[in-house]
Amino acid sequence: MILTMSVLSSISEAATIAVDPSGGGDATTIQAGIDLAADGDTVEVAPGTYPEDIDFGGRTISVEGRGGSAVTLISGSGAGPVVRIDSGEGAGTALRGFTISGGDATGFTDTDASGGGVYVDGVAAVLDDLVISGNAAEFGGGLMLSRAAGATVLNCHITGNTATSGGNLYVYGGSAALDGVVLEAGAAGASGVDGYGGGSVFYSASVTADRVEWLSNTATKYGGGHYAYNGDLSCTGCTLMANSAESGGGGYLSGTALTLTGTSVIGNSATQNGGGLGLSAATTAASRLHVEGNSASYGAGAVMVGGTFEGGSLLFMDNTAAGGGGGVYNDGGTFGAWNSLFIGNVAAGANGGGVGLDAGVATITASIFYANEAYSGGSIHVNAGSVATLTNLTLVENSGAGSAGGARVPAGGTMALVNSVIAWSTAGSGVSGDPAATLSIRYNDIYMNSGGATSGGLADPSGTLGNVAVDPGFRAHTQDGAWNDDLCLAAGSLLIDAGDPALLDADGSASDIGACGGPLGQSWDVDWDGWTTGAGDCDDQDATVFPGAPERCDGQDDDCDDTVDNACGEDTGDTGTSGDSGSDDTGPINDSDTDPADDTAPVDDTDPADDTDPAADDSAPLDDTAPGLKVTDDGGDGCGCAQADNAAGGPAGLLLAGLLAGLARRRAA
């Protein structure tokens, strides 16, 4: 009995089968190694190029390229998928460390012409460290996850594959998780053929995507980067950049529950609608969403056709529409935004530079519209059948040559404008409203707009219902761009406590007028670190500073506990900081002079600034790591400047230097 149990134990132990084309292993081809394996075994493949197609054949095994994807290649025959995992393999099935190319499943009928590179059906497989390139299929040119069943795709680069739908990737049904995946240069459709999802298609699937990049993909119809139909998609830290399609250049989502967190949508284009995002009957929740430099006919940043969109800490910047809706075009949907920025968006030939509503509903509060441009309604256009509720906005230096730089409401539109600043429109009036429009304009400051306070038959409301026409008294504002502006109210501003008495500021006082007042005036998260000013972020322009953050040796209060704990350590018997070679010195840790004792001035700047003068003791870093708005070196004058982070690696277009520089400071009253 003991012998029998010992034999059974040895038989059940997992084995490693070595594949070496030179003959030094258990097999010379990958498929031969798979055929030798049993459930739980690992097939370890030596570096080299393997001209074959492989099939896991129902075995729950791990097939691994020993040297990784850079040196272990599988070159398919072109007679179907290169790799098949579709015969009931169990949990623990894995494919790791290969470059996979040469597959063609366009005529491979038993898998419905799917998965040119890798075809997975009904298996919770793990795909890790793969480069899948140069494959073709009808669905999922690079990779097909059918009835995904919890499949996981990690650290893969899927590039240059083609299909009618899902040029690089197709997920059909079930669930899948993607992490650290790059979907690049995929193509969906051909001349005269409608293509969907150049980068990927998710069809009736539940997908979580972390740190996924859709780059330079194309589709002839919908979703240059991505196309989703039904199902749900949660995207965190993702990037959609330089993708193109007829509609939904970055992504097109129909009937999908979409969650976007810390995601960038940059430089995408559509010949029709939705340069960045095309949303059709989608339910979207967004936080820390950066939409910049996209182009389309309508809805350059995003177009909504029905559905809902709710988002905070949004940045729509420098998006350009040939028609309407430079930032957002809402056609029959419900749009909500708070603590958000709409900067430099253009609706070149129509309405709504920042936001255009066409039979849509919008609720926007505690937000800033700066330097947006349209023929009508430079900031916001509320078309017939549309309803807009606008509270605690700051609309500055917008342009609407045909009507209003601020807000325009033609006959049949409805707008409530409360506690807002509309000032210095560079073309057009502050607010334009037709006599047949339904308007409620209360407790606003409409000041110094080039076309007057109002137009379109709307009487100037100044002096009634709490409306005024006074200099807002911003902390800093000059009409030369956003570089040196701070659009919160300075001490002594006539707009402090001058808002609608039915609203209160976060501290319980009477509401201020403008984007830094009202219930959400302290809810800004400028540096996108997850902590708001009202929740105790003592420096909302540095993502490394927030309540509970680790203290660094930087001379500032990193954890917002009102004390500066340098975390530098101390020399025994030394009143200076650790790292100096002398005792009882008062000098800094990074002295570079020969006598570190008793220094009174720093030689080496200790902050992470990329200054041209490293000896300067700057009070703020030049290069911030914040994923949202960055702080630039203030030159010692106390006027820090905020910029929009650019996933492309540098500033683009109108940057937000200083636009919200004062949000982290407590209101001066």
Under a CB-based contact definition with an 8 Å cutoff, are residues 653 and 292 in contact? yes
d(CA 246, CA 82) in angstroms, rounded, equals 31
Residue 41, pLDDT > 50, answer: yes
Q: How confident is the model at residue 528, as a pLDDT? A: 87
Band of pLDDT at residue 636, cut at 50, 70 and 90: very low
C-alpha distance from residue 580 to each of 571, 596, 602 (Å): 8, 6, 12
Instruction: Give yes or no for residue 90 having a pLDDT over 60.
Output: yes
DSSP 551: P
Summarize the confidence of residues 205-233 as an average pLDDT.
Answer: 98
Task: Look at 535 and 53; give whichever has higher pLDDT.
Answer: 53
Count of residues for the chain?
669
Q: How far apart are CA 588 and CA 597, in angstroms?
A: 10
pLDDT at position 635, please?
A: 31
Percent pLDDT > 90 in the chain is: 74
- pLDDT of residue 409 exceeding 50, the answer is yes
Answer whether residue 405 shows pLDDT above 80: yes
Q: What confidence tens digit (pLDDT) does each residue in 555-576 have?
A: 888 999 988 876 675 433 333 3
Using alpha carbons only, give the angle 163, 168, 170 rounded to the nearest 5 degrees: 80
Beta bridge partners of 332: none
- What are phi and psi for residue 169, nearest 5 degrees? -150, 140
- Tokens 């911003």, located at residue: 474
Q: Which residues, 6+ apart, have CB-to-CB distance to 7 below 8 Å? A: none
Q: Work out the number of other CB atoms within 10 angstroms of the CB of residue 54.
A: 27
Coil, helix or strand at residue 87: coil
Q: What does the CA dihedral 379, 450, 480, 662 come to, rounded to 10 degrees?
A: -60
Tokens of 160: 């240059």
What gap in Å lies between CA 12 and CA 556, rounded to an integer? 59
CA 137, 138, 143, 144 dihedral sign is negative
CA dist 303 and 222 (Å) reads 13
Residue 178 backbone zone (phi > 0: left; psi -120 to 50: alpha; other: beta): beta
Q: What is the mean pLDDT of the chain?
A: 86
Q: And the tokens for 313?
A: 């800490």
- pLDDT over 60 at 651, yes or no: no
Q: Is the per-residue pLDDT at 14 higher than 80? A: yes
Residue 298 token pair: 């309508």
How far from chain centre, in Å, is Cα 14? 43
